[in-house]
Amino acid sequence: MFVRITTDRRPQPNTLDEFGLAGTFNRIIGLSEFKYRKDTEIFGEKEPAVYVYQVKHGAVRSYKLLSDGRRQIAAFHLVGDIFGIENGNTHRFTAEAVVETVARLIKRESIQLVAARDAVVSHNLLSMTTRNLEHAENHMLLLGRKTAVERVAAFLLEMDCRTGADNVSLPMTRRDIADYLGLTLETVSRVLSSLRKAGVLTFLDGDQREIMLNDRSRLADFDRQEPARP
């Protein structure tokens, strides 16, 4: 029984169409593409924000660091996602390619130019930012109040929901997952092992990055989502 669970977290499609930009717009500003090797920086925190990016292929992590190297990954950007969109002139994150990644680049100023004239584009820009905010809000709840098991379960369901494929593929390392969930890589590994032993998921091909969710509703039970009303 593969019952797909509908969660509060949206798939975050963030496709270009959301800009209201499909069609003519692409031609106007001339999209360029760029390939990033695994673990290379796409842009750094506090760098001037020149481009907005869309993941064509691969995966991206954006994160902040503390002075002693502690890292918090705020989001993973998967195929189709738009990232690096800033209101100020500088990036608030560092973005790195998790695996070899191809991204489309759009000049930030050209978007702003269109947004200033076109209310639809401007509205879509706001709605994309709001979606990011919504994700951040849910993630605060996870980081502030959820247990290790709940965090990992929520992460798997989020990835499952976003990729849409039958199996969940995790291009990122255990350390990346840990830094996204506010845990250590050992804890992530232990929780995944226990979920595997509990029969909730299976590692495919003996690959630890490719996971089959055997029972999404039971996995959802491991996560304890918010109630409708207080």
Partner DNA sequence: CGAAATCTTGATTGAATTCAATCTAAGTGG
Partner DNA sequence: CCACTTAGATTGAATTCAATCAAGATTTCG
Nearest to 106 by CA among 219, 201, 183, 27: 27
DSSP 104: E
134-163: which residues touch its own copies (CB under 8 A)? Answer: 134, 136-141, 143-146
Query: Min. distance of Cβ 32 from its own copies in angstroms?
Result: 25
- 61 makes contact, choosing from DNA, its own copies, none, with CB < 5 to 8 Å by partner type, with none
- 130 makes contact, choosing from its own copies, DNA, none, with CB < 5 to 8 Å by partner type, with its own copies
Using rule CB under 8 A, residue 224 touches its own copies: yes
Using rule CB under 7 A, residue 71 touches DNA: no
106-135: which residues touch DNA (CB under 7 A)? Answer: none
Of 49 and 213, the one with the shorter C-beta distance to its own copies is 49
* Token code pair at residue 73: 């990954």
- Could you tell me if 194 and 179 are in contact, meaning their C-beta atoms sit under 8 angstroms apart? no
Integer Cα distance of 50 and 155 in angstroms: 31
**What size, in residues, is the chain?**
230
* Token code pair at residue 192: 């995944």
- Could you tell me if 80 and 55 are in contact, meaning their C-beta atoms sit under 8 angstroms apart? yes
Contacting residues toward its own copies, per CB under 8 A: 41, 44-46, 64-68, 70-72, 74, 86-88, 92-94, 115-117, 119, 122-123, 125-127, 129-134, 136-141, 143-146, 179, 181-182, 224-230
